[in-house]
Structures are given as C-alpha cells and as structure tokens.
Amino acid sequence: MLKHSFIDTLATSLRIEVISATLRERVRATPFSVFRAVFGLLMAFGAVRFMWLGWIEDHYLAPQFHFNYWGFEWVKPLPAIFMYGVHYLMIASAVGVMVGTKWVYRASAITLFLTFTYTELIDLTYYLNHYYFVSIVCALLCIIPSPPAIWDKQATIPHWVVVIFKLQIAIVYIYAGLAKINYDWLVEALPLKIWLPAHDHLPIIGPLFTWTITPYLFSWFGMLYDCLIVFFLLNTRTRLAAYLTVIIFHSLTGVLFQIGIFPLVMIGCTLIFFDFGRGKPAEPSPLRPLTPKVSLRALVLVAHFAFQLLFPWRFLLYPGNVFWTEQGYRYGWRVMLMEKAGTAIFYVKDSKSGREGVVDNSEFLNPHQEKQMAMQPDMILQFAHFLGNHYAKIGLDNPQVRAEVYVTLNARPSRLLIDPNVNLMKERDTFAPKTWILPN
Amino acid sequence: MNRTLILITLLGLGLLTGMVSCNESETPTESGFNRGEMLTNVVQKLIIPAFTDLGTHVAALSQRAEAFTQSPTPTTLSSLQEAWSTAYTSWQFANSFNFGPAGEQGVRRGLNEEIGTFPISIAKVENAVSGTPNFNDFNRDARGFLAVEYLIFGMGKTPTELVDEFSTQKRKDFLLGAISDIDRRVNEVLSAWNGGYSTTFVQNVGTDVGSSTSMLYNEFVKSFEAIKNFKLGLPLGRRPGQTQAEPQLVEAYYSGKSLEMLEANLVAVENIWFGRSREGQDGAGFREYLQSVEGGQALIAATEAQMTAVKSALAAVPKTSTLAEQIQQAPQPADKLHTELQKHTRFYKSDMSSILGISITFSSGDGD
C-alpha cells in the first residue's frame, strides 16, 4: 500500500500525465520545417564538399589499414564506384529530408542515417563529436512521424518532435560546457593559450590573440557559453541576442579550427529554438489516443536520452585523467578541449630469432591516421595488432609488438603514454581499464 | 531575475577571473612572434642560398662531365667524382625544402624523389643506358644524383675499368642526360624562388595546412626522419621483416660517402632549427619561435640535450671505413646513432607542432 501511494505521489509530482499531454499537443510545424530544410541542405553541401576535396580517396580508398570503431569491426570501405554511389545517395536523401513528405521523407531519412553513419564508421581516425551528433540527428529524423510539407505554414506537428531536437542540442552544449570545467581550461587557459597565438595573423582579431588575457577570456566565455546558451535560446526575451552569440561563437571556432562545415551545422540547428510565426496554430487538434506504436516510440526515445545523459559519465569509472588515458573520452561532447600529440614507435619482434625491428608508420598509415593513433591507446592497440598480423603473414614467427609512445598534453613535456615493454599482441580492447596505460 | 542579467553577471565574473589569473593583463606580451620574419630569414639565409649553391655545383658537375666524356681518363674521372661529391653535399642542404616549387605537382613528384632517390636500380640504369633514356618516367630509381654516382664510381671497379666502360657513346649520353636532368629540375626550383615564390611564401604567415610554416615544418621533419629510417635504419636491418643488415641500401653506396652526406644532412636539419645559414650566421628559426610559446623553453632544452647526444653518437662512428663496411662488420656505433635519432624524433615530430599549434592534417580531431 505504502509502496503504491509512493509511486502515485512520485508520478503526480513528476506530472508525467501533464508532461505527456504537453508533449503530444500539436504545435506549429514551421520551426521543425526550417530545421529539416537547413539540416538537409547542409548535409547535401557537406557530402558534395567531401567528394570535391577528394576525401573519398584520401580517407577511405587510399589507406591500406582502417581503424575500427569498437563493435563495428565489420564495417569496411567499398570499392571506389560504390563509395561514390553512397555519397550520391547521401546527397539525394539529404534533399529528400529537406523537402520530402510521406514515404519520400521516411525513405530519405533512413537512407541519410544509414549512408552517413556507414561512412563515419569506416575509420575511427576521422571521429569527431560533430559527426556523432549528425548521426544522432539523422536517427531522430527517422523516428518522428512524417512531417507536413515545409512550405505549409498552417501545418502542425506533435510538440515532442521539436522537443527531442532541442533536448539533443541542449545535451551537446551543456555537456561540452561541463567538460570545460577543469583546471587546464579555466585556470591555465590551455589549450587556447596555444591555439590563439597560432592564429595571430588573422585580420582584425589576430592581434588580440597575442594578449595574455585573451585565452582566459575565451576559455571562460566558451565554458559559460556552452553551459548556458540553451537556456538563453529557450527564453523568448533573450533568444535573439543568444542567437547572435551563437553566430559569433561558431564563426570564431570556424575561423580558428579546421572543423569544416560544423560551425554552420550548429548555427543552422539552433534555429529550431525560434517559433517562426505568431499566436497559436490555426486549428489546435485534439490529442490522439496513445497507441502501442506511440508508446514504443516513447520508450525508444526515453532510452535514447537516458543513454545520452549517462554514457558520457562512464569516464568516472576508469582510473586516471580522462584527457590522458582517453578511456571514456569519446561520445562525451568533449569538443576541442585539449592539445595533444604523440610520436609512436612500434617494435616488432620475431619470437624465434629474437630479432626486433622498428616500424616506419608511414608505410601503413596516412599522416592523419598516424597523428590520431599516436595519442589514443585503443588505436595504438589496433595498429599493433595490425602490425603483428601483417608481419606474421610475411613470415615472422609469432610476432611480439611493443610501442614506445611519447605524448604531449597541453604543452607539457612529452611522457610515455603506455608501458613500452608490454606485448600488445596479448592485450585486447574491452571496456575494462587498460592496465598498460601509464599514469599521467 | 532577468536572464540577460544573469548572463552579464556570469560573463563579468569570467572576465574578472581571467584578469586575476594573469598579472600583465591588457599589455601585449612578448609572445607575439613574427612568423613572417622567421620565414623571410629562412628564405634569404637558407633556402635561396641552398638552391643557388646547388645550382652552381650542378653546373660545375655538368662541365666536368662534358670534359670527361670528351676525353675519358682517370684524371678527368677523378675531377668529375670530386664535382659530384661537392654537388651532392650541397643537395643535403636543400633536400629539406621539398615544397612549393620543389613539391609535388601532377605526375612530377617532389624534387627529393626526382633527383635524390636511393637505392637506385642497377638493372634499370643499365637498361636505360643501352636503350632510350627517359628522365620523366616513373623510374625514379634510374635517374638523379645516385644514378650518376653509380655510373662514375661503379662498384669495386678501378678508375681504368670505369673509364673503359665509357667507351660507348650511349653511356656518355646517359651520363650527360642524367646530369642535365638534375640541372634542369634544380634550376626550375631556383628560378621560382628567385621569382615570385619567395614573396608568396613569406606572406603566407598562417599555421594551417598549406601555410608556409606548416610546409617548412613538415619537410623539416621528413628530412630528419629520412636520415633515421632510410639512411640508417634500413641498411642496418632495423626494419621488421629484415633478417639481416643490408649495407648496400645506404645512401651514396658507390662513392662510399654515406657518412659524410648523413652528417651534412644532420647539420642542414639543425640549421633550420636554429634559423642558421650554412656559413653559420644565426637568425630566426623554429628555436626562436618556440621561445615565444607556452612550454617552449622546456622543449628547447630537451631537444638540444638530445641533439648533443646525437652529435656524440655521430662523433663515435669511425670515419676510417665507410658506413656500409661498418654496418657489415661493426654496426654498434651506427646502431647507437640510430637509437639516439629515434629518441630525438618525438621532439621534432609531435612536441613541436603541438605546442606551436601548427596543423599537419586537413581536418582536426576533437583531441587536438
């Protein structure tokens, strides 16, 4: 009895009924229409740009070895013609997401999600939080009911459709902000102390970057911006000013960092916070009854957001500094947070003859792959296994692979990242802490 | 409370903390480093002199080759060999500048590969000698300085035997053709630097990929790594899969001048670090740049300590026998040099670009 009433009270105090009703209320479709139009356009543009820059060759076709995503080792690049096909399909589906309705929209959304996510999963080297964000948005676009035509200004959609995108954006920003609350970022103004002077040649703002105070201001502003911007976007009175801040902030990151079209993506996506219209929608339709399909969808969304909220904290379960070990670093909205680089020298030993050779990484990896690998333990492990298998194939007896990896983090003198005496062929990549990573 | 007010308050707080954290607020710091000045120094004191010098010595090589082919005698051969050594030493001071006019362009690879590929393929060279030589095909291991070296130094041949080899017109033609190919390529690069490219280079003061600083840095690192990997590592048999030393893979194998060239290459790399001309005149280089940034002093100290270790390892390599002979008979000193170079790699390869904020790839990762 007591238990029952407790749950009742909890339900009442959480106002689940009310929340559910509010979420199912129908609202003006324009914010979402603008959102999907801009998102689809940018996705199409992004895919065209990717091909134009010759990155299909550079990223997917030229490398003889690809770093896998954990659990997605089965994702492999396709021959050139199919890789181009995938990109053309991505462009077409992006256009479909932009302007399509009914089955065209649905098919486009699913295709966009699959093609984009496929290309991202080919090589871990190119992982960026932004790509992960785009994949999530694509997935969310698949789950929503088919939207009305984008030019229909009177149309309505369920409130939750808008809410899930706002919530996802909120998580990205707030988690990115929380990640900035650390000693190096706030007290040492690192890595901005490194990055800003490297851009002191920029017109107008460049000279500011040589001032001692500038990295501190940027660090603090960046942290506060990320933590708070969503709240200012939610509030009608501050929305316009907040959006101007969004434009300025992302334009700056676009100038400073080589992150492609992502500043544009964020500037575009945050448009969803605007109403684009006045007053209530023309015909507030009555709430539709809950069907199993709706409930299932709700369940999937709740599970998704629970994952989104919890997964980034997994780093707390690992010993050591997450910036150093990178255990639990990814998928946590840690965006442009540190300056890290390493030199990894691999030694392969023939177990029978005892002869040990030194690998020239550039024989197997492109500069981008080598750079990313040389500071991330799981990638070092993958490459070690590749080397072991490769040399076993060309005749070495049960090759042992060890690596001497020196990493510099935020301008500190470089130190050994992993135990240089461990035979990496004996280690496996799991969620368990990697004992061969040396403390920072 | 008004949310704008909260924002302003928080921003103010942030500002305040920022000001408190640093003592010399608002005044520009000493850290403003003028990359343009560094680039100008490198162009004026290192790059242009290096290619000018190389051009002069390749022209001399060409003249001696003319003289030799007109009257092949042990004397003209010896003077030709001497000219080759001088020209190839000059090349050691230019091989780090493998970008811009010396960089890849279409099917043409960087100057380094076009005129400095080693080991050469004797079979391909002999084939070209007896056939129709083409200095623009993909057989980069059948042209350049080291193909010329093979022709004029041979392998274990006496001067008279070598001279006798040049009794055929085809061999003479190939020699002259190979040298004139080097000459043409070097002069192309030199005239580009003497023309508009210097200005382009000096004005491109950014740190992104394709910026002058990034290109200079990348090729500087590559030149250093080539010494370690190809001039020492491979001949020493230090590559996995190698079952023994392969001394014939050293640079300048036929002349036996490997050590001399390696030493020159190391000096050239060090000169870029210091911003120092070949004559020893010091200017702005990467070292000065590092002095201006966070963590720079510590890196300079660590790098220069290791430089000293490299130098003493080099000094410990006996000069009485060739590198190839040593690798065959007593590889320990050369092996030690390889190890010291290995230890040096991280300072140049990742520490420097990281603290200077130089981009070496087209898109950055989150962990940059």
Pick A194's closest partner by Cβ from B229, B237, B293.
B293
**Percent of all residues in chain A with a pLDDT value above 70, rounded to a whole number:** 94
Answer yes or no: is B215 within a domain: yes
Q: What is the length of chain B?
A: 368
Q: How far apart are the CA of B182 and the nearest CA of chain A, in angstroms?
A: 27
Confidence of residue A123 (pLDDT cuts 50, 70, 90): very high
Answer yes or no: is B56 within a domain: yes
**Taking Cα atoms as reference points, which of A247, A186, A226 lies closest to residue B14?**
A186
Between chains, do A201 and B205 touch, taking CB under 8 Å as contact?
A: yes
- Residues in A 270-309 with any Cβ partner in B closer than 8 A: none
Domain of B322: which CATH number?
1.20.1420.20
Structure tokens at B208: 């992104």
**Percent of all residues in chain A with a pLDDT value above 90, rounded to a whole number:** 80
In chain A, the residue whose alpha carbon lies closest to the alpha carbon of B358 is A198
Q: How far apart are the CA of B151 and the nearest CA of chain A, in angstroms?
A: 30
Distance of CA A90 to the CA centre of its chain: 19
Specify the pLDDT at position A154. Answer: 87
Q: What is the DSSP string of A211-277?
A: BSHHHHHHHHHHHHHHHHHHHHHHSTTTHHHHHHHHHHHHHHHHHHS--TTHHHHHHHHGGGG---S
C-beta separation of A173 from A229 below 8 A? yes
Specify the pLDDT at position A427. Answer: 96
Query: Is the pLDDT at A300 greater than 60, yes or no?
Result: yes
Specify the pLDDT at position A290. Answer: 72
Pick A413's closest partner by Cβ from B18, B35, B302.
B302
**Taking Cα atoms as reference points, which of A106, A9, A38, A71 lies closest to residue A271?**
A38
Query: Is the pLDDT at A289 greater than 80, yes or no?
Result: no
Ramachandran bin of B119, using left for φ above 0, alpha for ψ from -120 to 50, beta for the remaining angles: beta
Q: How far apart are CA B338 and CA B333, in angstroms?
A: 9
Distance of CA B54 to the CA centre of its chain: 13
Q: Which residue has the tokens 């989150």?
A: B366
| CA distances from residue A375 to A252, A301, A406 in whole angstroms, order as listed | 27, 35, 8
Q: Which residues pair with A342 in a beta bridge?
A: A407
Host H or E run for residue A400: strand A400-409
**Summary mean pLDDT of chain A:** 92
In chain A, the residue whose alpha carbon lies closest to the alpha carbon of B295 is A411
Query: Is the pLDDT at A284 greater than 70, yes or no?
Result: no
Running DSSP on this structure, what letter comes out for residue A438? P
**Taking Cα atoms as reference points, which of A228, A300, A243, A224 lies closest to residue A31?**
A243
Answer yes or no: is B20 within a domain: no
Distance of CA B365 to the CA centre of its chain: 28
C-beta separation of B78 from B159 below 8 A? yes
C-beta separation of B354 from A411 below 8 A? yes
Between chains, do A220 and B25 touch, taking CB under 8 Å as contact?
A: no
Answer yes or no: is B185 within a domain: yes
The ranges of chain B with pLDDT < 50 are 1-3, 5-30, 366-368
Answer yes or no: is B77 within a domain: yes
Structure tokens at A411: 């301008």
What range does the domain containing B122 cover?
Answer: 35-356
Dihedral, A398, A404, A409, A415 alpha carbons, nearest 10: 140
C-beta separation of B229 from B344 below 8 A? no
Q: How far apart are CA A97 and CA B312, in angstroms?
A: 65
Specify the pLDDT at position B133. Answer: 84
Specify the pLDDT at position A9. Answer: 66
Of residues A27 and B262, the one with the higher pLDDT is: B262
Specify the pLDDT at position A20. Answer: 78
In chain A, the residue whose alpha carbon lies closest to the alpha carbon of B228 is A360
Specify the pLDDT at position A39. Answer: 96
* Number of independent structural domains in chain B: 1
Question: How many contacts, defined by CB atoms under 8 Å, are there between A and B?
Answer: 210
Host H or E run for residue A158: strand A156-158
Structure tokens at A128: 């960026």
Structure tokens at B286: 């990467």
| Mean pLDDT, residues A51-56 taken together | 92
Running DSSP on this structure, what letter comes out for residue A356? E
- pLDDT one-digit tens code per residue, A196-229: 988 888 888 888 898 989 999 999 999 999 999 9
- pLDDT one-digit tens code per residue, A159-200: 999 999 999 999 999 999 999 999 999 999 999 999 998 888
- pLDDT one-digit tens code per residue, A349-370: 999 999 999 999 999 999 999 9
Instruction: Look at residue B343 and give its three-state secondary structure.
Output: helix
> Which residues in chain A have their CB less than 8 angstroms from residue B246's CB?
none
- Residues in A 159-188 with any Cβ partner in B closer than 8 A: 186-187
Q: CB contact, 8 Å: A253 with chain B?
A: no
Confidence of residue A12 (pLDDT cuts 50, 70, 90): low
Confidence of residue A286 (pLDDT cuts 50, 70, 90): low
**Taking Cα atoms as reference points, which of A154, A116, A132 lies closest to residue A33?**
A154
Over the range A284-313, which residues count as b (16 or more CB within 10 Å of their CB) and which as e?
eeeeeeeeeeeeeeeeebeebeeebeeebe
**Percent of all residues in chain B with a pLDDT value above 70, rounded to a whole number:** 90
Instruction: Determine whether B212 is exposed, middle or buried from the number of CB atoms within 10 Å of its CB (0-12, 13-18, 19+).
Output: buried
Specify the pLDDT at position A285. Answer: 62
Over the range A190-222, which residues count as b (16 or more CB within 10 Å of their CB) and which as e?
bbbbbbbbbbbbeeeebeebbbbbbbbbbbbbb
Q: How far apart are CA B37 and CA B189, in angstroms?
A: 22
Q: How far apart are CA B289 and CA B38, in angstroms?
A: 8
